[in-house]
Structure 1
Amino acid sequence: MDRAVDSRVVERERQSESATHGTRLRALIVDDEPLARRGLEIRLEAHPDVEIVGEYGDGLSAIAGMREHRPDLVFLDVQMPGMDGFETLRSIPAHEMPLVVFVTAYDHYAIRAFEASATDYLLKPVEEGRLAQALARVQQARSQREASGHCAHLLGLLGELSGRPLLDLDEALKPDALEQLRRDDKLAVRDGGRTVRVDLSSIRWIDAAGDYMCIHTDGPADRAAPQGETLVLRATMRDLEKQLDPQRFPRIHRSTIVNARRVVELRPHTNGEGFLRLDCGQELKLSRTHRDKLALLI
C-alpha cells in the first residue's frame, strides 16, 4: 500500500476509534480575527480527536455558543473588543465551565490566564508543536476531572477552608459569598486529621511550601510560645487569598501573605525590595512586584 494512502487510512481509523469511545474533544474557537480563527482551524485538522463545533468573533456570541453546544474545550482569544476573554469566562456558570486554552499575541497575559484557571495558553501565530502540547494537557486535565470529580473536590476544599456548610459552586464563588467569608473572624484549617478554627488575629504570616500552605500562628492562647505554631493546609495561595480580606492580609511575595496588623517595621532593600519585621521578630521579604501593598503595611 502506498505510504500516503496508508497514512490516511490510519488517520481515519484513529478518528473512528476516538469517536466510538467518546474521547473526541468538542471545541469552540473564539477570536475576533477571522484569519486567526481560520489559522487555528487549519492547525486542528491534524488532530482528529478534536471536533470544532462552533466559531465566534466576540464574547457575547461565545457565551451563547457555550450554552448551546456545551463544549469540552474553548480556544479563547484574550483581547477582543467589548468583552475580552477574561470577562467572557466570568459570565459562564461554574458548572458549565469548559476547559480553556487562551490564545494571545502577548505572553504577559499568561499569568492572568493561569490565574483564571486556564488549562494552557497559546501565542499567536500558533505553532503546531505548541498546539500539540496544549491538547495533551487538555486531555490530561479532562481525564483528571472525570476521574476525581473535579467540582466535588473543589466544593470540599471551599467547605474546609471556610468552615461553613457545603456550598453550591456557583453560590460559593459569588462576590457577596466571598465577602461574607472575609468578614468572618476565624479561618477553618484542616491540619492532618483535625480541623482547627484559627483566630485571624493570631495569624502572623502564611507561606507556600509546594502544594501546601503553612499558616504561622501564635498558637493556643493557654500556651505562650515565642516560636508559635505552624498549621499545614493542602491548598493554593489563590485559595487562601479568596478567603482572606486583602486589606488585612495582603500578598507581599509570590509565596507569602502577611497579617498587616502584625508588621512593626519596614526596612528598604536593594532593587526596590524591602524587609518587613513582625511583632514576633520574624522578617519577611517584600518583593518589587508587590510594592503597591506598602500603603497597607505602614
Structure 2
Amino acid sequence: MATVQNNNLKGLDLPVWEMLQSIPATTGAGMVLAADERGTNRYIYALLSTTSFWRYCVWSNTWQQLASPPVGAVGAGTAMVVDPSRGAAGYVWAYINNGTTAGFAYYDVAVNAWTSKSVTGLPVINTDASLSHTCTQYNAAGNDDFLYLIGGNTAGLYRYSISGNTWASLTAAAATASAGCQLQWMPGWNTDRLVRVRGGGSAALDYYSISGNAWTTLTYNPSTEGFTTGTYLARGRGDGGFYIQKDSSMRVYDMDLNALTLTPQATQYVMGSSTAVVGNRMVYVKTPDGVEFLYVGLHSSSGFLRTPIYF
C-alpha cells in the first residue's frame, strides 16, 4: 500500500470536521468510546448501555452490534479501555457503573464474549470515572498486570491486578477528581507516570508516580481553561502529549507534556453539541497509510465526527 503524505500547509489549510455514520443511540451520561491507544486498529468500541455494545469500523464507516456486557448499569461513572496484549485479538476492559452499583468485566474481541471479574474492593464512583492500562503493547516498560481507576468526587486512585483478580487502594491525590476527570498513562513522556485531569472546572493537572506511589502537580501554560462535565481525552502522537476536548464548548487542544503548553488543535465542530454529559467519547486513530484522525461523539446527540490532525 502506497504511503500517503500529509501536505497540508500551516496557515493555509485549516482542520475540517467530517460527519460520519451516526452513533446507534443518543449519547447520555456514562456512554463511552475506546480504541487501541496506538491508533492502529480499525475498530472503535462504544458502550451505550448494558444491552447496547457496538464497534465502529473506520475503514467502512459502519457500526456493528456485539455481545452485551454481563454486569452493572451504564451511567455516570462508567469507563472503558482497550488492552491489545490479551487474547488472540485483545480485550476491552469496562468499569460499568451508574453511581449506585458497579461491575467490572472484559470483552474478548476474538470470541465476541464478556467475562465478569471481581468487584471485591471495587469502589462505586458517582459523577465520572476514567480507566487506564499500563499495557506492554503500548510500551514494553509497562506493567501489563495493572489497570488504574479514578472517579468523580473522590481523590482516590484504585488499581486492579489482572493476575490476582483483585482491587487495591493506592495513595490518594491531594485534590479531588470530579466531572470531566481523565486518567492517562503517558509512556512516550514518562513510563512511570499517570497524568490526571482533575475535572470539576479546574485547569489543574497532576501526575501519579507508579514507582513512588505519590502525586505531583504539573504546571503548564496557559492554564486558563477549566475542564468540567463532558471533557474528553485521547493520547496523541508519540505519546509526548494528549488531545483534550473542552466540555460543551467542543474546543480541542493539544497538551504538550514536554513543553508544558496547551495549544488549540482544531476548529470547533461543524454542528452544535447539546447538553454536556460525562463519559470519554474521543479517540485517536492512525490509518494504515499514516494519516491521523480524532474521532468524536457529540454530547446528548448521535452525531459522530472526525477531523484529520494536520500539524
Range of TM-score over shorter length: under 0.3
Work out which structure has the larger RCO, using CA pairs closer than 8 Å and 6 or more positions apart in sequence.
2
Bigger share in strand = 2
Larger Cα-atom Rg: 1
TM-score (structure 1 length as normaliser): 0.25
